[in-house]
Structure 1
Amino acid sequence: MNRENREHFQVMIQAKDMAGQMGGLSGTTTVNITLSDVNDNPPRFPQSVYQFSAPESTEIGSPVGRIKATDADIGVNAEMDYSVIGGDGLDTFDIIADRATQEGVITVRKPLNFERKSVYVLKVQVENTRLDPRFSSMGPFRDTATVKVTVEDVDEPPVFERDSYTMEVKEDADAGTTIGSVSAMDPDSSRSLIRYSIDRRTDMDRLFNIHPGNGTIFTLRPLDREETAWHNISVTATEFSNPRQLSRVRVHIRVLDVNDNAPVFATVYETFVCENAKSAQRIQTVSATDVDEPKGGHKFFFSLPPEASMKANFTVKDNRDNTAGILTRRSGFSRAQKSVYLVPVVITDGEFPMQSSTSTLTVRVCSCDRDGNMKVCSAEAYALSTGLSTGALVAILLCVIILLMIVVLFAGLRRQKKKEPLIISKEDVRDNVVSYNDEGGGEEDTQAFDIGTLRNPEAIEDGKQRRDIIPESLYPPAARRAPAGPARDQADVRDFISQRLQENDSDPTAPPYDSLATYAYEGNGSVAESLSSLESATTDADQDYNYLSDWGPRFKKLADLYGGEDSDRDS
């Protein structure tokens, strides 16, 4: 039987009793038979040659085309594998099986180049994944076909000879010095000319430039290795025929070191020497540093300047290990005679061209004990011995001063809060405020005092005992509303002023005599009642102004109290 020809069969079966004799009974049933598949058919390509095309810009792994073989079997017996077994595109293309559709998908394995090769021929094979050994005698269960792939030309951007470039230039090179060159070409058959340029986003300081025709890179101004040792720029190559076709490459420029910096002290050295120091005593060890980086490492030499070596109090001993010791040349130093010595030290490197500089060491004279421990010295030397610098001491002193100022200010504010204000509110002022800046000569000097506005008793807060006037129990309200005679008013004002003066003299928190003293007491009652010109205009023309005669003696008494015999005050 062949399942590929007929898969299903139906059989009717009859059963009879009485051995099938006449008169017996019978029954029938139907049996359905389905043939199961075996792998007895090889896969076959429906055509022997397949043709596809792909642009040369196709990326690696991208599909080029699909082919499919047929197999009369079903299920796992119809599963197939595809492979490239020959042809000139064996290393350029690949084929994989799609298990969902049992198709062979041809993909790109290496970049395509139309200018290098435009047509590839592949020999592709297909076979079953599971073979049945019972049918091996029927022949190989595989098939082959030929696949031709045509590569299409695409306008491609320029291609650089290298993926990146590395160049070197000395830091003392003059402007216009050539560093190196880059090269790119148009991969298309047209071979368009290439124009080169530098991406200025990678060269913001405009240190380099490139020849647009041949790709030569040169400097625009001198370089400094100590500032920047490496420069990474991007060079762009553009086709003249199609400016949209461009490519970029990275160029790494290394700046080579040149001995153009002199060595200096490794740090700011400050030390001290004891007054009882002996000759040839080491007081400090110094070292140097240099921003240059010679290939063989640094080599420094230390010495005194020739002009300072004749009358020097100190000498320099080179340790031959890039350090030097500062030694005394005599015994005994006097802090009273000279407290600070400045020792110049010449530092020279061993490179070419040789560079040298002069650094200064500060030596302070201090009083020491027999063991050489410092006892008395200047503030800077003491800070040096205790590990504190001058800047640290200044910072500590400033902090102490600021804290003292804060404490004094806080105490003054608390003291000011406890003192009663001179003026309680703006509504209590009934006249202009008079101010003066004459310190005066004491109570005998009439120019030192001035009576400003007086406080109104009716504006006093309820329940608050006033200290600037005699309590109201001495002046009943009825008495204040009655016309006051000259003698009572004089005593009232005199007592008020005397009380206020006594309070200010005995109060330690009172302001000095040249400060403003404000009073808001107008006295008890007024004969004039109102001096408004508006009210006078509405009354009869024969209004009585005799009350002015009562005020004359009052002003006279006030003038006697303050001015004495001053005729101007009397008037």
Structure 2
Amino acid sequence: MNCSALFPTLIVFLMMSFCVTNKAQAGRQSLRLHELNEKLQVSQRRLKRGWIWKQLFAPEEDPTPRTIGKLKSTFDKGDFSIKYILSGEGAGEVFKIDEYSGDIRTLKKLDREEKAFYVLRAQALDRKSNQPVEPESEFIIKVQDINDNMPQFINEPYVSSISEMCPVGTTVVQVTATDADDPLYGNNAKLIYSILQGEPYFSVEPKTGIIVTSWPNMDREAQEKYLVIVQVKDMMGLTGGYSATTTVTISLSDVNDNGPTFQHNRFTFVVAESAPIGTTVGRIMADDADVGINARMNYSLKEAEGSDTFQIHTDPVTQEGVILLAKPLDYESMRRFVIDAEAFNDHVDTRFLSYSEFRDQTTLHIHVEDVDEPPVFTTQEYEWKIHENMPAGTTVGTVSARDSDAANNPVRYHIDKGTDIKKMFKIDPENGTITVAKSLDRETASCSPKSTSRTSAKGCSQLVQVISAVDQDDPPEGHHFYFSMVPEKHINPNFTLRDNQDNTASILTRRSSFTRQDRTHYLLPILTADSGTPALTSTTTLTIGVCSCHTAGHCPTGGVEAFALSMSLSIQTLIGILVCLLTLTVLSILMLAVRKHRKQEQQEEQGQEEKTEQWEEVSEKVLRYSEMGVCGSDSGACRPVPLRPRPGRRERRLRREEVAASIRMSLRQSYLIGPEDEVFRQFILDRLSDADHDPYAPPFDCLRTYAFEGTGSATGSLSSLGSFISEPSFERPCDVGQRFMRLTLWNGAKEEQTTF
């Protein structure tokens, strides 16, 4: 065989060496096959041969066997003297040739993505001599592609981030999809991209899959994250093609396009004038819609009257402005401060906002709470000269002090205990006049040692109640509550509130004492605010009751006690209401029973009164004789003796109630009242007098009836009155059969004896 005959075989061999069998290489196989086929056709045109065939194609995914081509030699006269033989890839399994006609048929379904083409060899033999009439030749059967594969996205998931306020057309990300169909045959693998969700904010390039922004000035504070759904379709998007989708998550990163803003244009705080320097007066908070470094802020106080009394700094954790006391306070000289506070960003980006837009301000109203301060003397030192041997009571001089508080409470004076000077002088506690306590001797002490006189005023600022708050929310930075009294036209003259800066507040008195004669209850509304955004508030009314002093005279918290009444109803409150209703129902039933019982008692008392009337009739028949005599002989000596019946009702005693009320009033007016006090002695004497003259006081007289057995009995009388029979001593004769009995009647502690 010459070299020219071997050249086509070499070409086919080189072509087969570049073939692959997986789907991912199907496209490249088709391209290489096209190139090798062209070379083969050129080589074949240079040869003189007798083979006749066309380009052979076999459609993929066709399950029906069919004829795809025909091989024929020029020596074939149609008398079936030529025998055709097929060998190579898929011969006998995938393809079969008719040995008489040279027709090539498929035997099974083909898959282009599994194998794009087959290289076969054909021979033509003389059927009689079995000798080749044509040289062996190679040819290619190409698997024709159909659209049987869906496009698929690669490199999923797609996540990207861009800055807010970026310009239109900013590239976000590129999505990529592949199709296993033949890219060189038809439109089966030609892909088109489109957006199903995400417009009008984003758009996609149809052929490249590049996603760009299409909406100006996208604001992260309005929407931080977008989910864009991209669709890809083969066959250039024509009907009948396959499609696939993917989701692209796009986040907007923050830029400093927002300045701080205060939710309230006014903050009110209360601080005691006795608060030390460095005390936290309160906290303010400005909101910034940005995050991270763009949300960091500082606070400052604008210059105003008294603004240097306070300082403000930023809490690095909560970003709150903490107001601190920088100078001592004096309620009498400055009762209220009005200061403007400003919040501004640390990091300023003028591409988005002007310099003035990166700041905001609010007004602080700081009220100074009056504290009971000690009185002060009008003069620090007093110096007097007196003669020796002056009698006791001689006036030495007068000291004067005043209460530094606005209330101007009364001032009382006294000399310190434990010093000898107190033995020499006395001081009037009301007006401060100092007098000689005993005669002074110059030779003993020419000059009394200097001493400090002290004063005392009635106390106030006593703790009444400590209140706290709870919140169902759970902020990341924890809770911080602000307590204040509900603003009124004037400052509350009775009570004040001190925020303890630990989520509690103390209720303090502003007066030295309270009396129930003035008022029995005080209602104190309290406003509680949280540190959330926006800040939420609630109002609770604290009911403060004026209580009575103890027996020894001690009055806790100035005689007041408090309990809170919430403005909102909870489940516990509803349960308490139900319990109260049930209690009222039971009490109503008990009252009906008591009324029924009292009605029965009244009926019994009426019966008793009827009996009493009978006893009164009987008492008229009881006679008393002043001296012993014969019955009926001295009618002038007999007089009726009434019995003391048990009264049916007792009239209401008002005097005892009034006396007891006077004693209770005396207890309030004096801390020490003992049994030897005149009030108690008079009270006891009044009670004894009432007992002696009270016709309703027990014991009561009663009448006992004893039957007379008659005369002539050998055993005598069986009555117990027989023990009272005395020997008969008659001054005048008496009828036989008469007996004398002595009846003793008791009237309270007195007794009377009457003889019958």
Normalised by the length of structure 1, the TM-score is 0.38
From the CA coordinates, give the structure whose radius of gyration is larger.
2
Normalised by the length of structure 2, the TM-score is 0.30
